[in-house]
Amino acid sequence: MTERSSVAVRAERVSRHYQMGPALIRAVDDITLEVRNGEFLALLGSSGSGKSTLLNLMAGLDRPSSGAILAQGRSLAEMSQLELARYRSKAVGMVFQSFNLLPRMNLEENVELPLRLAEVERGERPARVREALERVRLEARLSHRPAELSGGEQQRAALARALVNRPALLLADEPTGNLDSATGESIMQLLREVQRSLGMTIVLVTHERALAERFADRIAILADGRLTSDGMKP
Amino acid sequence: MKAHDLGELAFRNLREAVLRNTLTTLGVAVGIASLVAMLSLGVGLQELATKRLSNSGLFDSVLVFSRSNLRGFGRPARAGTAEPQPPRALDDQALQEMQRLPNVVEVYPQIRFLTEVRLAGGSYATMVAGIPASARDGGAFDGIQGSFFSGPAADEAILQIEFAKDLSPQPGTLLGKELVLRYAERQPLGPSAGPGDGANAESDSSSGGGFSVIPREKKLRIVGIVETEPAVGFGGFGRGRLLIPLAVAQALRAAQVNDLRDVVRGTNPNPTYASLTVRAQGPAQVEAIQTAIKNMGFSTFSLLDATRNLRLFFTVFDLLLAIFGSLALTVATLGIINTLVMAILERRREIGILKALGAADRDVKQLFFVEAGVMGLLGGVFGVGLGWLIGASVTWGTNIYLQRQNLPPAHVFSVPWWLVLGAIAFAIVVSLMAGLYPASRAARLDPIEALRYE
């Protein structure tokens, strides 16, 4: 029981196959992987290795062809569409390579969006938004639109948006992919800081081994949809 | 997502593509405007017709005859049938009984008689009709040139325009002039009586044997000229080309057509009327009054069936107008569908982001629904305003035309509150229906595919 409660998310013989014409694409193939609470796991692999697909399965954005993703003591496959939406809204925060901020909204509105979706009381929202933006040191840019920010600032804003609902699990899909190395490193430091200060679980998808080795607690390596290595970093 | 958040996001989305959404909303507005304009014209024409006809007294009046009038004089009783009861006389007692019936406004006799009018050395034959004072408020004398009678017993006359043209090529100059009415006064056989004496009965056959006819003259001042013949062919003053106050007409005791018939029959010991007009409070009460009068032993006639047919005609008319008006709305509906489908393509990535952040399919669907609904609401409100403007313009143009034809102005369109609310509600419902497919399509979007979309 104690062991189960210490698991943030667990993939149990998970496969995700796609039929592309006559060919069967095995994006994720029979992977079993466990992420503990408060852990910083890096999923490392080359392009097409299946790491983003596995992350989407953990986020409940996709459903496995076989196997199960277990989170909060339940299989995501058993959840209804509405329950999955609630899971993504309250238990998971997501950060993407291309930031995915809504260009028509300023930072304050972008960060407020998950609060609207989670039906957080209106009066509570401004403080939560400010707190999230302070954590990523963007509190002075509340009224700026994404286009008025640098790439690093946009990614920090996206991180603030992912944190605003105080999720237990943060899923980051190549968050440094669109950034120069210095900015990428600052984002990684921020992720590490958030993980430590909030006790969050982070699953990071990246193809940059150096960053993964430097910041993650554990590295799992995928190739051709299969888990080839899973262990504590050296 | 909560309703106010949905509303805010929907308004924000609509503001972002302001040109396209404004054009779509205008499409809805034009559709609703055409619908409102068509229906308001239909309703307006119906109200106009109903008002005019109701003012004429056609639809709230019951014409009452003695059964002897309609049964046919001198027809032998059918073989094998019992001798029928003598028909009830249409006399003062019957008049008072009818006056006491519920929802009866007034009861007055029809007085019409042939006369000769003398004016400025000319002599003209015409029909005189006595009209009650209540006719003034009925609207039949709207647009009168000059004025209505100054009092219920004033020695004054109102001319129908055609008759006035017979009297003078410039009818307006007749106002204020005096004409002389030559008519045949009935007098009971026996000592001669002066004009205006006796009871207000039209068929003075109290002698039971007959009456004599004495030529008389009456001076009347012309006070008004009316364009139309009020209540042609029906009611108390139909076909009258020279109208005088009812009290004056009664006092003249002019011989009427039914007088001769009553004399020949010799069945009426008391004065009787040729017919009575019973005015109800409204057309709805006519049927009950008609039944009550029939039960009293009289024959009646009303245009109730014609009213029903009129309603049927306008219902079909409104339906046709609504169908034509709806065509524009159909085009507008396609516009909404097109706009929302385009919005899905444009906002594919945004939908993916919303879903990744925790939006349920329901939230996405509702968002598109609210956007469609807002376009419908705004389009409906603008459309009603635009429709009103079109209707007002049609009325304006119609009245210019009527004025040129020397006809009184008419309000040919009407936008009742039910049409305003109904049109706005209809616009919203149609827009929501138009949003059904795009909203479902947006809700079904695969978030991973949507997030990949550039």
**Which chain B residues touch A83 with a CB distance below 8 Å?**
none
Query: Could you tell me which chain A residue has the CA closest to the CA of B7?
Result: A116
Identify any residues that bridge with A23 across adjacent strands, giving them in sequence order: A20
Determine contact: B358 vs chain A, CB below 8 A: yes
Per-residue pLDDT for A129 more than 90? yes
Per-residue pLDDT for B87 more than 70? yes
Report the pLDDT value the prediction gives residue B57, as an integer from 0 to 100. Answer: 64
Query: Could you tell me which chain A residue has the CA closest to the CA of B363?
Result: A117
Compare CB distances from B1 to A102, A105, A116 and report the shortest one's residue: A116
Distance from CA of B411 to the nearest CA of A (A): 50
Query: What pTM was estimated for this model as a whole?
Result: 0.64
Determine contact: A121 vs chain B, CB below 8 A: no
Are B360 and A113 a contacting pair at CB < 8 A? no
Are B356 and A161 a contacting pair at CB < 8 A? no
Report the pLDDT value the prediction gives residue B326, as an integer from 0 to 100. Answer: 75
Report the pLDDT value the prediction gives residue B192, as an integer from 0 to 100. Answer: 45
Beta strands across the sheet bearing B61-66: B104-109, B275-280, B61-66, B298-301
Determine contact: A88 vs chain B, CB below 8 A: yes
- DSSP-based three-state secondary structure for A222: strand
Identify any residues that bridge with B406 across adjacent strands, giving them in sequence order: none
Distance from CA of A36 to the nearest CA of B (A): 22
Are B1 and A81 a contacting pair at CB < 8 A? no
Residue B267 binned pLDDT confidence (cut-offs 50, 70, 90)? low
Query: Chain B, 149-188: which have a CB under 8 Å from a chain A CB?
Result: none
Q: What string of DSSP letters covers B251-316?
A: HHTB--HHHHHHHHH---SS-B-SEEEEEESSHHHHHHHHHHHHHTTEEEE--HHHHHHHHHHHHH
Report the pLDDT value the prediction gives residue B210, as an integer from 0 to 100. Answer: 64
Per-residue pLDDT for A164 more than 90? yes
Q: Which pLDDT tens digit goes with each residue over A54-68?
A: 999 999 999 999 999
Report the pLDDT value the prediction gives residue B343, as an integer from 0 to 100. Answer: 77
Residue B86 binned pLDDT confidence (cut-offs 50, 70, 90)? low
Identify any residues that bridge with A220 across adjacent strands, giving them in sequence order: A43, A230
Report the pLDDT value the prediction gives residue A160, as an integer from 0 to 100. Answer: 94
Distance from CA of B336 to the nearest CA of A (A): 22
Token match 């006359």: residue? B157
Report the pLDDT value the prediction gives residue A115, as an integer from 0 to 100. Answer: 95
Query: d(Cα B181, Cα B128) in Å, to the nearest integer?
Result: 9
The total of other beta-carbon atoms located within 10 Å of residue A4's CB is 9
Determine contact: B350 vs chain A, CB below 8 A: yes
Determine contact: A24 vs chain B, CB below 8 A: no
Residue A9 binned pLDDT confidence (cut-offs 50, 70, 90)? very high
Determine contact: A56 vs chain B, CB below 8 A: yes
Specify the DSSP element, H or E, that contains B233.
Answer: none
Determine contact: A104 vs chain B, CB below 8 A: yes
Are A117 and B1 a contacting pair at CB < 8 A? yes
Are B356 and A88 a contacting pair at CB < 8 A? yes
Do A171 and A55 touch, CB atoms closer than 8 A? yes
* Alpha-carbon distances of B328 from B29, B337, B383, B390, B431, rounded to whole Å: 10, 15, 11, 15, 13
Burial (CB < 10 A; 0-12, 13-18, 19+), residue B191, is exposed
Please tell me the least confidently modeled range out of B110-114, B352-356, B365-369: B110-114
Centroid of chain to Cα B34: 24
Determine contact: A25 vs chain B, CB below 8 A: no
Report the pLDDT value the prediction gives residue A3, as an integer from 0 to 100. Answer: 42
Report the pLDDT value the prediction gives residue A149, as an integer from 0 to 100. Answer: 92
- Which tops the pLDDT comparison, A147 or A5? A147
Determine contact: A78 vs chain B, CB below 8 A: no
* Alpha-carbon distances of B249 from B174, B231, B424, rounded to whole Å: 21, 18, 55
Question: B357, B367, B371: best mutation site toward chain A, by most A Cβ within 10 Å?
Answer: B357
Report the pLDDT value the prediction gives residue B386, as an integer from 0 to 100. Answer: 92
Kindly state the tokens that stand for B182.
């030559």
Centroid of chain to Cα A220: 15
Report the pLDDT value the prediction gives residue B197, as an integer from 0 to 100. Answer: 41
DSSP state of A98: T
Compare CB distances from B358 to A62, A89, A96 and report the shortest one's residue: A89
Determine contact: A68 vs chain B, CB below 8 A: no
Compare CB distances from A100 to B4, B16, B353 and report the shortest one's residue: B353
Are A88 and B363 a contacting pair at CB < 8 A? no
- Which tops the pLDDT comparison, B263 or B389? B389
Over residues B241-250, the mean pLDDT reads 87
- Which tops the pLDDT comparison, A4 or A83? A83
**Which chain A residues touch B352 with a CB distance below 8 Å?**
100
Specify the DSSP element, H or E, that contains B439.
Answer: helix B417-444
Over residues A191-207, the mean pLDDT reads 92
Do A204 and A44 touch, CB atoms closer than 8 A? no
Q: Which pLDDT tens digit goes with each residue over B139-184?
A: 667 778 888 888 888 889 998 888 888 888 888 888 888 899 888 8
The total of other beta-carbon atoms located within 10 Å of residue A92's CB is 25
Per-residue pLDDT for B208 more than 60? no
Are A94 and B349 a contacting pair at CB < 8 A? no
Strands A7-20 and A66-71: antiparallel
Q: What string of DSSP letters covers B97-163?
A: HHHTSTTEEEEEE--EEEEEEEETTEEEEEEEEEE-GGGGGGTTTTT-EE---SSTT-SEEEEEHHH
Q: Which pLDDT tens digit goes with each residue over B107-135?
A: 888 888 888 888 888 888 888 888 888 77
Torsion from C-alpha of B17, B23, B26, B27, nearest 10 degrees:
-120
Query: Could you tell me which chain B residue has the CA closest to the CA of A104?
Result: B16
Report the pLDDT value the prediction gives residue B164, as an integer from 0 to 100. Answer: 87
Query: Could you tell me which chain B residue has the CA closest to the CA of A114?
Result: B357
- DSSP-based three-state secondary structure for A207: coil
**Which chain A residues touch B361 with a CB distance below 8 Å?**
81, 85
Distance from CA of B350 to the nearest CA of A (A): 7
**Which chain B residues touch A122 with a CB distance below 8 Å?**
4
Are A119 and B360 a contacting pair at CB < 8 A? no
Report the pLDDT value the prediction gives residue A124, as an integer from 0 to 100. Answer: 93
Determine contact: B16 vs chain A, CB below 8 A: yes
**Which chain A residues touch B14 with a CB distance below 8 Å?**
none
Nearest to B329 by CA among B93, B119, B36, B21: B36
- Which tops the pLDDT comparison, B116 or B69? B116
Determine contact: A119 vs chain B, CB below 8 A: yes
Would you kindly state where each structural domain of chain A is located, as residue ranges? 101-166
Report the pLDDT value the prediction gives residue B193, as an integer from 0 to 100. Answer: 43
Sign of the torsion formed by the C-alpha atoms of B224, B229, B231 and B236: positive
Query: d(Cα B11, Cα A226) in Å, to the nearest integer?
Result: 46
Determine contact: A154 vs chain B, CB below 8 A: no
Report the pLDDT value the prediction gives residue A87, as an integer from 0 to 100. Answer: 93
**Which chain A residues touch B349 with a CB distance below 8 Å?**
100
Query: Could you tell me which chain B residue has the CA closest to the CA of A111?
Result: B357
User: What's the count of helices (H) and strands (E) in chain B, helices before strands?
Assistant: 13, 11
State the complex-level ipTM: 0.91
- DSSP-based three-state secondary structure for A55: helix
Query: Number of A:B CB contacts under 8 A?
Result: 62
Per-residue pLDDT for A21 more than 70? yes
**Which chain A residues touch B16 with a CB distance below 8 Å?**
104
